[in-house]
Amino acid sequence: MAKKRKRKAARIITRKAPTGLKLTAIFHWVMAGVFLISTFLLIVGSALIEQIISKYLPAYEPFSALGATFLALSAVLSALLTLLYFYVGKGLWDCRHWARITAIVLAFIGVLVSLVPPQLLSLVISILIIWYLGFRKGAGKPFI
């Protein structure tokens, strides 16, 4: 019984991801980087918006706190998306089944988001990810 477990564990560790799966993981890491940059910019923006509005638009000063709060909440959402995309990329690289499902869900959301306003590149990438992870022959084979 113990030998079976060791052999199974050895198979899991030595399992290699196909090239397409690695490219999908790298795409998710790039997206995590994009969200990390946007998180930083939103934090800086939320810190500066009150100062800018109070200095240059004093009539709108009551709304500066609302704008800063909105940017801070957007930064939190962007930070969560950074973590999500990073861990999905890591899971895809390690051939984890949960990462496959999560990547397909994120790609479906990407299709919906890219329809309004129309963003052709985002739409094509999302459809390719859905096809590669979900509908391609043998798509689930490398996953644990």
pLDDT one-digit tens code per residue, 40-87:
999 998 888 878 887 888 877 777 788 888 999 999 999 999 999 999
The verdict on residue 118 lying in a domain is: yes
Task: Please give the span between the terminal C-alpha atoms of the chain, in angstroms, as a whole number.
Answer: 20
Would you say residue 115 lies in a domain? yes
Distance between CA atoms of residues 41 and 115, nearest Å? 25
Question: Is the pLDDT reported for residue 119 higher than 60?
Answer: yes
Provide the percentage of residues in the chain whose pLDDT is more than 70.
89
Structural domain contains residue 9: no
Assess if residue 140 is contained within a domain: no
The domain total for the chain is 1
34: domain range? 17-135
| Residue 11 domain flag | no
Q: Is residue 5 part of a domain?
A: no
Q: What is the pTM of this model?
A: 0.81
pLDDT band at 118 (very low <50, low <70, confident <90, very high): confident
Q: In terms of Cα–Cα distance, which of 76, 80, 85, 78 is closest to 32?
A: 85
- Please name the residues in contact with 41: beta carbons below 8 A apart, sequence gap of 6 or more: none
- Whether residue 106 is predicted with pLDDT greater than 80 in this model: the reply is yes
3-state secondary structure (DSSP) of residue 66 = helix
**Residue 3, domain member (yes or no):** no
Q: How far is CA 56 from CA 59, 63, 66, 70, 72, in A?
A: 9, 13, 17, 20, 21
Q: How far is CA 87 from CA 39, 50, 90, 91, 129, in A?
A: 17, 34, 5, 6, 16
Is 97 within the bounds of a domain? yes
